[in-house]
Amino acid sequence: MSVEILDGATIVNFMEDEEAFNAQICHRFAHLDSDHDGRLSYREMLKELQCLRVLETHFGVDVETDPDELVRVYDSLFVQFDHDLNGTVDLEEFKSETKQMMLAMANGMGFLPVQMVLEEDSFLKKAAEWESAKLAA
C-alpha cells in the first residue's frame, strides 16, 4: 500500500489514454483469469470484488460486516459486470464495467486533490503512477 494524492481528473485522464488504460485492463484481467479461458468465473472475479473493500468503516476503522450481507453485495456486483448474464465476465464486460466504476469514483471525488491509501496493484494506483510519469516527462 502507498499514500497518493489524486483527484477526479487523474482518473479521467488515465482512462482517456486508451493505450495505458487498455493495457492495465488486459493485465488485470489476465491476472484474474486463473484458468486462462478468457472468461472470469464468479470465483475468479471474487478476488477483484474483495479488493474493492466493501466494508463499513467508522471514522476510518473497519468494523466487522455480516458475512451474508457481503455475499449479497459481491453477488450483486458480479451481476453488474456480467452484462449478458451468462455466469461469466469476458474482457469487454470487465473493461466496460471497470470504466463505469472508475468514472463514478472520479465524479464522486471531484477535482479537489484527495490523499488516499491505495493498494499496489489497484487501478487508482496505476492512474496515480500514470499521472506521475506524465508530469515527469
Q: Which H or E run contains 89?
A: strand 89-90
Q: How far apart are the first and last CA of the chain?
A: 25
Q: What is the pLDDT averaged over residues 86-105?
A: 94
Per-residue cell: 32: 484474474
Q: What is the pTM of this model?
A: 0.81
Please provide the average confidence, as pLDDT, over all residues in the chain: 87
pLDDT average, residue stretch 47-62: 63
Domain count, the chain: 1
List the CATH number of the domain containing 99: 1.10.238.10
The predicted pLDDT at position 54 comes to 53
List all residues 6 or more positions away from 35 whose beta carbon is below 8 Å from its beta carbon. 41, 44
Provide the domain limits for residue 80: 2-136
Q: Is the pLDDT of residue 61 over 70?
A: no
- Which range is least confidently modeled, 4-8, 61-65, 74-78, 90-94? 61-65
Would you say residue 60 has pLDDT above 70? no
